[in-house]
Amino acid sequence: MQLTVELTGIGFAYGATPVLDGVDLSLSEGGFVVLAGPNGSGKSTLLRLCVGLLRPQAGSVRVLGGSPIDPSVRRRIGYAPQGLRVATSLPVSVTEVVAAGLAPSKGWLSRMDRRDWSRVNAALDSVGLGDLSAECLFELSGGQQQRAILARALVGEPELLLLDEPTTGIDQSARPALARELRRRADAGVTVVAVSHDPDDFHQFCDRILLVEGGRLRQVTHEELHTHIELEAAP
């Protein structure tokens, strides 16, 4: 089976603060992996390395058989950061935000056709925002905005899906539907990597839980992760 993500000996630091130290990770297509760990442990950094927003200071990163900074590779990646990166003064609709997710594959100046709009609508429906498509993004709740960012990552039908805290601000009642949608995509061959601070959001749906701690990765069970969280919270 083809490897979707290959991290070898990854080292990374912010200034004098080391974050990742000799991280190795191999992910096959069609898996659903959750990254867990304390704040500042390097979870988001790993995603940014995989999408090419950061360069490793040691080791190598290969995704989808190539470099994440290669445009032909990057357009096959769906990435949803935590929080918005758009000026809140822009009167942008939910539909427009999601449609922007097609730009890497279509080109920024290409016109949208009927199939493109169908994909936008399907992505909105998959995160439960179909009835809010015409609303101004910044008039929605934080959780609804986060779902719009998720739809933007999904609309391009990526082969690798990188999600940073995708359930932030989303009601507990809506989280199982999101988890099922991600599981469906993984079963269809998409590699899904989700950062999560809550082990209960995805544990029934994911294949592996990887704990990021002390600059390294290790696989843990759901029970081991709960124990780890309890120990971290103990006075």
Stated as kind and residue range, the H or E segment containing 209 is strand 208-213
Give me the chain's average pLDDT, please: 88
pLDDT of 8 reads: 97
Burial (0-12, 13-18, 19+ Cβ within 10 Å), 98: buried
> In this structure, which amino acid lies at residue 28?
S
Are residues 225 and 199 in contact, defined by beta-carbon separation less than 8 angstroms?
yes
- Quick check: 218 pLDDT over 80? yes
Q: Go through the domains of the chain in sequence order and give each one's CATH number.
A: 1-76+162-235 (3.40.50.300), 89-157 (no CATH)
At residue 55 the predicted structure's pLDDT band, cuts being 50, 70 and 90, is: very high
At residue 216 the predicted structure's pLDDT band, cuts being 50, 70 and 90, is: very high
pTM (global) more than 0.85: yes
Residues in the chain: 235
